[in-house]
Amino acid sequence: MYAYNLFRSTEPDGLVCAVPEERSVPPFVVEPHWQFGGRIQNQETTPLGFDKKAAAEGVRFNGFYLFASFQKDRPGR
């Protein structure tokens, strides 16, 4: 599994963009609409809603993986 940097949407949509550390951040991930949201290094740090297989396919085709986070207490709320 890759180590991913997470970028969270500042909108109430719950979107998260996961980007492998060795990849470039997509051009649409810019402030003020997105903010750095941490890092995934292993299975224990994986947020709810993250699908490892879907992430691998998303990265393979797009270089990043978008998913909806289901965490209860989102920052900024």
Per-residue pLDDT of 9-28, as tens digits, reads 999 888 999 999 999 999 99
Q: Is residue 44 part of a domain?
A: yes
* pLDDT-based confidence at residue 77 (cuts at 50, 70, 90): very low
Q: Structurally, how many domains does the chain consist of?
A: 1
* pLDDT-based confidence at residue 71 (cuts at 50, 70, 90): low
pTM here? 0.84
Whole-angstrom distance, CA of residue 34 vs CA of residue 19: 13
Q: Is residue 75 part of a domain?
A: no
Cis peptide before 12 (omega within 30 of 0): no
Whether the Cβ atoms of residue 64 and residue 26 lie closer than 8 Å to each other: yes
For residues 49-64, average pLDDT: 94
Q: Is residue 26 part of a domain?
A: yes
Q: What pLDDT was estimated at residue 48?
A: 86
Task: Collapse the DSSP code of 72 into the 3-class scheme (helix H, G, I; strand E, B; otherwise coil) and give the result.
Answer: coil
Full residue range of the structural domain in which residue 60 is found? 4-68
Q: Is residue 73 part of a domain?
A: no
Q: Is residue 31 part of a domain?
A: yes
Q: Is residue 74 part of a domain?
A: no
Q: Is residue 50 part of a domain?
A: yes
Q: Is residue 76 part of a domain?
A: no
H/E stretch holding 60: helix 52-62
